[in-house]
Chain A
């Protein structure tokens, strides 16, 4: 138990150091703009399909389930409000982050892990290039840019899909449903979702990069690093989400947003 805890703390400390070095390197603007654009394309554009499908079906099932429960209380027109608030502040950012961590976190860990075991990272270092400047920073910034954009897409498609299911399939009155949705959804819900998505972007990139850069033991190690990157990023996102929800809601109350 003590060994496990000790190792866990060491890993946490190393990820903390990686985060510190990455943020310090971001400020020096030493990264390549071309690499950044490619990473935004890879993390953002290429993840759209999976994020849109996830967002749409989550919005649809949320609308259906909420309707089934609310219908018993004759609160049908409150359905879209629940869909909207849930998609904006919780499901949109969390599900987007989980899907992206599966696709992108794994790819980052596999790519950097392979580079590590084939000595390409050492080659970078001998060519007077810091791996953090060249490999981590473009991915970190790209994830921080792409995640909020993907989250906005997920929120939008979830609400639209929920609207079509609620109004088109389940027969909710469109005018009241829309009115209630606007009444109970606030700017703060969207803002909370976007702040969360930026943080999740950083988590996915940092854990993926850390697992890749610390990869050992050849092909087996790359496989393990890839799996661990996805598992650790997903768990971290879910745990962080709870604390972020409490903190951000409290912040909104204090700021009166």
Chain B
């Protein structure tokens, strides 16, 4: 289970999160929605300890990670896989080397086992046979798939997705959504997706949270959120700049 309590974070004078409380149960598929620049990615990075809060707590399976140092966090991060907005593939390595990276770092697999696992992970993300390609040779969607293969190859318990469909066309976005669902069901992982793509949020999540004005404004099942009559929630879901344009 992942939990944050009164999480606050500022960058210089600019406050990004101001007392965020959230709770994500094991096996749940949580989607955090909110406006661009609203602190969704910052919140996600706190869940895996990439950022340290100014105050408040982040608990992963009951363990407070908010005051751990980098070495202590390495142990906690073995539970996590993360897919970055820009995929964050190591551009000096091939696709196979990227996917094999976490396994090679663990130093407990033979070369044969690594090869088999890499091929299997690439098959799960529908990219078999791309092992020898460099990230620069791949399209945006393919890069995200490789990023996902790298995140699932060591079979983590929790997978975090940072804007998985941003910058992709609707067809590729759809395939990424299906992939997220397939990975969730196949590996039985806890999934946390940060997005402002409403279609993706509705399909992928079974728990939707709206981050608004630096706080967790609303949360519930996709039906509860998407049928909400709250002006702020509706404004975001309907995608209108002026709240007066909302038609209930």
- The residues of A with any CB-CB pair to B shorter than 8 Å are 115, 118-120, 122-123, 125-130, 134
Beyond known contacts A127-B105, A128-B102: 7 more, CB 8 A cutoff:
A120-B90, A122-B88, A126-B82, A126-B151, A128-B74, A128-B75, A129-B74
Asked whether B78 lies within 8 Å of A128 as measured between CB atoms, the reply is yes
CB-CB under 8 A from B90, the residues of chain A are: 115, 120, 123
User: Do B82 and A123 have beta carbons less than 8 Å apart?
Assistant: yes
Determine the residue in chain B with the shortest Cβ distance to A34. Answer: B104
In contact, A130 and B70 (Cβ under 8 angstroms): yes
Least CB separation from B70: chain A residue:
A130
CB distance B88 to A119 under 8 Å? yes
Q: Classify chain B's interface size.
A: 20 to 34
Chain A: CB-nearest residue to B82 = A126
A-B contact pairs, 28 of them (CB 8 A): A118-B88, A118-B91, A119-B86, A119-B88, A120-B91, A122-B45, A122-B88, A123-B82, A123-B88, A123-B90, A125-B50, A125-B70, A126-B77, A126-B81, A126-B82, A126-B151, A127-B77, A127-B101, A127-B102, A127-B150, A128-B75, A128-B77, A128-B78, A128-B102, A129-B74, A129-B105, A130-B71, A130-B74
Once the chains bind, are A122 and B50 in contact (CB under 8 Å)?
yes
| CB proximity of B150 to chain A, nearest CB, Å | 7
Task: Give min CB distance, B48 to chain A, whole Å.
Answer: 6
Check if B236 is an interface residue, CB within 8 A of chain A. Answer: no
0/1 string, B76-92, CB within 8 A of A gives 1: 01101110111011110
Residues of chain B with a CB closer than 8 A to A118's CB:
86, 88, 91
Among A119, A122, A127, A130, residue most surrounded by chain B Cβ atoms (within 10 Å): A127
Most buried by B among A119, A126, A134: A126
Cβ B50 vs Cβ A126 within 8 A: yes
Closest CB of chain A to B44's CB: distance in Å?
11
Contact A123/B105 with A130-B70, A130-B74 known, Cβ cut-off 8 Å: no
Chain A residues with Cβ below 8 Å from B70 are: 125, 130
B88:A120 contact, CB within 8 angstroms:
yes
Q: What's the least CB distance linking B90 to chain A, in Å?
A: 6
Among B148-163, those with CB < 8 Å from A are: 150-151
Set of chain A residues within 8 Å of B75, measured between Cβ atoms: 128
Fill in one digit per residue for B56-74: 1 if any A CB lies within 8 Å of its CB, else 0: 0000000000000011011
